[in-house]
Amino acid sequence: MRQSEVQVSRRMEPALTPSSGLSDGTGWALPEDVLEETSRRLSTLAVVAAVLWSMALVINNLFPRGFAGVNTHPYPWPGNLVSGMAVVLAVAMGVYARLAGAGRAALDLGLAFLVVNAFALGLLDEWVARGVRVRSVSWIAVVILIYAMIAPSTPRKTLLAALVAASMDPLGALIARWRGLPVPPASEILLQYWPNYAAAFLAVVPSQVLQRLGRQIAKVRDAGSYQLVQELGRGGMGEVWRAEHRLLARPAAVKIVRPEMLDVASEAEVRLLMQRFMREAQATAVLSSPHTIELYDFGITNDGAFYYVMELLVGRDLETLVRDFGPLPASRTVYLLRQVCHSLAEAHSRDLVHRDIKPANIYVCRMGLDYDFVKVLDFGLVTFGDQAGFRRTVLNADRVTSGTPAYMAPEVILGEAEIDRRADVYALGCVAYWMLTGQLVFEADTRMRMFMDHLQATPVPPSQRTELPIPRELDELVMRCLEKDPETRPRDAGELFDMACSCKVPHGWDNDAAREWWELHLSEFTQPLTLAVPAAPAVPPAATVHS
């Protein structure tokens, strides 16, 4: 999973706390995304209601009475009026629930929609004289149960609305009595429509189930002092969520993995993958370069999921940046390469090797007033000084990849025992090649052919694969990084940083040039970022994470 998948809009949403969902004062709450899904189902239900009421109009006006046993209970003109108004109401409800995205407001209005439909059914059911006829279960009971299963609200509101809806048949009978029609006594009517009230109490069951679901979701999404707001991406190793601190306005990105998400066959494999995840957090935590993704916190949630909290980045990763806008000029390539080297130089000085340097793990950001600010991500394959321990605990796990083929050094492909900083230097050469040309160093249609090219083929200089001018010094720098023999490459990112700083490129790229580029191509990221400040609770919440 890559943090580089994360992109955010200019407007940050408020923190998602249990009280920000749907609640009736009894502790029942749902996250906003679940409410929105329920609203979409309510929209579908409204469309179905519009279709059924339209069918009633067609049957009432086009079929002769008694035709094929369909039109056995034709209504006079009020039937057309009520059915027509019900169609209009259902269409309006469907459009509102679909477009408004109101969540709680849509569900509250949906309860009113239930009552109005029940009133229409009760009115029509009692519009004509009863005579002697056997009564079946009212459509109102059916509607109550269907609504409760598709778009449940809070238990209290659901019960209240369902009881009112169940009373629409007796109300229809009362209106019929006012109109002078013979109707049974009130006690007999209530007894006759007891299934309506039974359905009303049964309708609370889905709400209670959803109540427990809401509490479970709130508990699972609880990551220490941070509350998860919106899922931004997911992959084989876990999920990335946008989150916000409970007391601060600071947004963050939370990387989280739960054991049930891992496609592994044994508990031993789960432990290996969790060890890799913790290794990534620990490796990131010891680095302080401004061009390394900043780690805020990490630990284990109450349900056993490992997580860590990082700064939330605004921008694009290099892979999508070049793919969307084409190769970068030499001056911008050097500008970005120096920042990547700054991050990796610190890692290399601490005897850490990233092992998965690629454009997707290099994020080009807007940071305050700075543009084209680089952040290096995903230290999940980092090698510590203990090479043997690393290979024993990580590389031998069947489902853990040890790099990306297009950016892997020959010695990594061969699985040599000693993998050092020069493997990252080779990958940096591949990244610079991608920035300058918009192409991989070696194009291949299979993983094995890609490996063989990195092992044996001589790369074509980037200056020969692009129409953009590339200074000779930069061309040679890239080709030196791509040497098959590690001994002939720069020894680490620190040496490559010095080479990049001394590399002379025309029309130097700087922050002003970067800002102009962003204003032209990524203007949505150049406006002020508006953060919603969460309300402070009366008492700070107790810590719920154990690390």
Question: Tokens in use for 459?
Answer: 């790369």
Those residues with Cβ within 8 angstroms of residue 490's Cβ, 6 or more apart along the chain or in another chain: 422, 425, 480, 481, 496, 499
Q: How many other C-beta atoms are found inside a 10 Å radius of the C-beta of residue 375?
A: 26
Q: What would the DSSP string read from start to end of 486-526?
A: GGGS-SSHHHHHHHHHH---SS---HHHHHHHHHHH-GGGS
Please check whether residues 22 and 163 belong to one and the same domain: yes
Angle between helix 155-166 and helix 204-220 axes, rounded to 10 deg: 160
**What pLDDT does residue 240 have?**
84
Please check whether residues 93 and 183 belong to one and the same domain: yes
Please check whether residues 201 and 91 belong to one and the same domain: yes
Question: Tokens in use for 298?
Answer: 């990490």
Residue pair 364/374 in contact (Cβ under 8 Å)? The answer is yes
Is residue 322 domain-resident? yes
Question: Tokens in use for 106?
Answer: 């849509």
Is residue 534 domain-resident? no
Is residue 537 domain-resident? no
Which is nearest to 459 in space by CA: 422, 410, 505?
410
Give the whole-angstrom CA distance, residue 22 versus residue 24: 7
HEC profile for 225-260? CEEEEEEEEEECCEEEEEEEECCCCCEEEEEEECHH
Please check whether residues 267 and 185 belong to one and the same domain: no
Is residue 400 domain-resident? yes
Give the whole-angstrom CA distance, residue 387 versus residue 415: 12
238: left (phi over 0), alpha (psi -120 to 50) or beta: left
CATH of the domain at 282: 3.30.200.20
Give the whole-angstrom CA distance, residue 50 versus residue 46: 6
Is residue 81 domain-resident? yes
C-alpha distances in Å from residue 28, one per residue of 14, 217, 224, 231: 20, 12, 21, 22
Give the whole-angstrom CA distance, residue 24 versus residue 72: 44
Which of 286, 311, 336 is where one domain is finished?
311
Please check whether residues 293 and 365 belong to one and the same domain: no
Please check whether residues 294 and 330 belong to one and the same domain: no
Helices (H) and strands (E) in the chain, counts: 19, 9
Please check whether residues 143 and 291 belong to one and the same domain: no
Supply the range of the domain harboring residue 71.
Answer: 18-213
Please check whether residues 196 and 257 belong to one and the same domain: no
Is residue 547 domain-resident? no
Is residue 489 domain-resident? yes
Find the catalytic residue in 222, 317, 356, 424: 356
Q: How many other C-beta atoms are found inside a 10 Å radius of the C-beta of residue 204?
A: 18
pTM value > 0.75 = no
- pLDDT below 50 — which residues of the chain? 1-28, 67-72, 74, 132-134, 384-401, 531-547
Please check whether residues 192 and 254 belong to one and the same domain: no
Please check whether residues 297 and 337 belong to one and the same domain: no
The per-residue pLDDT for range 392-429, each reduced to its tens digit, is 333 333 333 356 899 999 999 998 767 899 999 999 99
Strand partners, 130: none
Please check whether residues 51 and 73 belong to one and the same domain: yes
CATH of the domain at 412: 1.10.510.10
DSSP letter for 20, please. Answer: G
Which is nearest to 329 in space by CA: 476, 466, 521?
466
Q: Which residues of 329-365 are buried (b: 16+ CB within 10 A; e: fewer)?
A: bbbbbbbbbbbbbbbbbbbbeeebbbbbbbbbbbbbb
Is residue 475 domain-resident? yes
Q: How many other C-beta atoms are found inside a 10 Å radius of the C-beta of residue 11?
A: 10
**Domains: count for the chain:** 3
356 catalytically annotated:
yes
Strand partners, 165: none
Q: Where are the beta strands (DSSP E) in 237-323?
A: 238-245, 251-257, 295-300, 306-311, 315-317
Element (H, E) at 478: helix 472-481
Angle between helix 421-437 and helix 318-325 axes, rounded to 10 deg: 20
**What pLDDT does residue 533 have?**
43
Please check whether residues 414 and 503 belong to one and the same domain: yes
Question: Tokens in use for 4?
Answer: 């580089």
